[in-house]
Structure 1
Amino acid sequence: MAVQKRFIAGAVCPRCGEMDRIRAWEQHGVRYRDCVSCDFFEQAAIEDDTAAELETRVNREREEQQRNAIQTVRILDPGSR
């Protein structure tokens, strides 16, 4: 039976930096990821949740929003003690 390899939308390859080139699949209790543009290859046991999250457009935008978040400043009246 052939293994179904699926592309991860928005994923950025940690080696070459190309977006939408990472494929992922599972076989025999192991997760695999590779890049179709370069020689990046990664495997991890399915029980292992310590695998780093791949950078995507979604989590990159979330970090930028947190960095650029507007914080309100409350001005205190010095005479209202």
Structure 2
Amino acid sequence: MNQTPEQPIKRFIAGAVCPACSKMDTIRMYQQDGTMHRDCVECGFADTLDERGNSVPREIPTRVTVQPASKPSPTSHVAQFYPNPKLKKKDS
């Protein structure tokens, strides 16, 4: 099997257990652009590792997570509501 220089060499890690599916001996590790990665051939789990070998956590999306601004669709329009002048405020 010939691999081109663009494709990283993926090696199985003996005895490693997948954190997603808990299967043993299904984890492959490889280095790409100086960063270590691992993936599972059984369930498709993929992860990036830091220089100490710890998993790099992904940011959990929350309501305060900054999302890139989306452009309004060209068919949308703004609706503006005005107070009804015929309604009068009741005094208590």
Q: TM-score, normalised by structure 2?
A: 0.50
SS state of the match for residue 21, structure 2?
coil
Richer in helix (by share): 1
* 1:3 maps onto 2:32 in alignment: no
Question: Take 1:13 and 1:3, find their aligned partners in 2: how far apart are those partners?
Answer: 20
Paired positions, count: 50
Shift of 1:5: 0.3
Q: Which structure is higher in RCO with an 8 Å CA cutoff and minimum separation 6?
A: 1
d(CA) in 2 for partners of 1:28, 1:16: 27
Give the residue type in structure 2 aligned to 1:30. Answer: T
- Please provide the CA RMSD for this pair: 1.5
2:54 aligned partner? 51
List alignment gaps of at least 5 residues for structure 1: 53-81
Q: Counterpart amino acid of 1:38?
A: C
Greater radius of gyration (CA): 2
What is the match of residue 13 of structure 1? 18
Alignment partner, residue 58 of structure 1: none
List structure 1 runs of 4+ shifted beyond 4 angstroms: none
Partner of 2:89: none
Give the Å deviation of 1:27.
1.2
User: What 5-or-longer segments of structure 2 have no aligned partner?
Assistant: 56-92
Distance in 2 between the 1:38 and 1:7 partners?
15
Q: What displacement does 1:3 show? A: 1.4
Aligned equivalents of 1:39, 1:4: Cα separation in 2: 17
Match of 2:34 in 1: 29
Once the 2 structures are TM-superposed, how far is the Cα of residue 44 of structure 1 from its aligned partner? 2.4
Q: CA deviation at 1:50?
A: 5.8
Q: Provide the rounded CA distance (Å) in 2 between the counterparts of 1:41 and 1:5.
A: 13
Identity, in percent, stands at 48
- For 2:17, give the aligned amino acid: V
